[in-house]
């Protein structure tokens, strides 16, 4: 996945395209991973934040690249959270760094 997250919210279609998976798979993962809770607008459309996308990226790597079962991936993510209380902080820091990088690239282009 390209780490150029520039918007605050992404539609389910955009996120599915980022990972080359179906929208139904993302909806299914939402039922299997309680921490994956995208916001919904009044119409019920899911809106994924950068933090949601980073979490999906972790799920994707475990399930698609490393061959974990969904139960195994869920346990791995729970263990990572329990063993490393900075996991959330690291994800937030990664999002901030990506945003800073994008802003610097825009400034560079303006020069």
Residue at 4 is within a domain = no
Residue at 3 is within a domain = no
Averaged pLDDT for residues 8-17: 94
Residue at 91 is within a domain = yes
Q: Could you list the residue range(s) of the whole structural domain that residue 50 is in?
A: 10-110
Residue at 1 is within a domain = no
Q: Where is average pLDDT lowest: 3-12, 68-77, 82-91?
A: 82-91
Closest to 25 (Cα-Cα) out of 49, 8, 46, 4? 46
Residue 93, pLDDT > 80, answer no
Return the pLDDT at 89.
Answer: 63
Distance CA 103, CA 111 (A): 13
Give pLDDT tens digits for 15-74. Answer: 999 999 999 999 999 999 999 999 999 999 999 999 999 999 999 999 998 999 999 999
> pTM for the whole thing?
0.68
Other residues' Cβ atoms within 10 Å of the Cβ of residue 9: 15
Number of domains in the chain: 1
Return the pLDDT at 86.
Answer: 53
CATH number for the domain harbouring residue 94: 1.10.1660.10
């Amino acid at each position: 996945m390209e780490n150029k997250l520039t918007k605050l919210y992404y539609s389910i279609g955009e996120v599915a395209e980022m990972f080359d998976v179906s929208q139904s798979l993302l909806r299914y993962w939402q039922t299997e991973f309680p921490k994956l809770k995208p916001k919904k607008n009044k119409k019920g459309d899911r809106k994924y934040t950068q933090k949601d996308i980073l979490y999906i990226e972790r799920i994707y790597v475990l399930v698609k690249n490393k061959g974990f079962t969904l139960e195994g991936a869920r346990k791995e993510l729970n263990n990572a959270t329990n063993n490393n209380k900075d996991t959330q902080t690291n994800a937030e820091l990664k999002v901030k760094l990506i945003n800073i990088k994008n802003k610097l690239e825009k400034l560079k282009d303006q020069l």
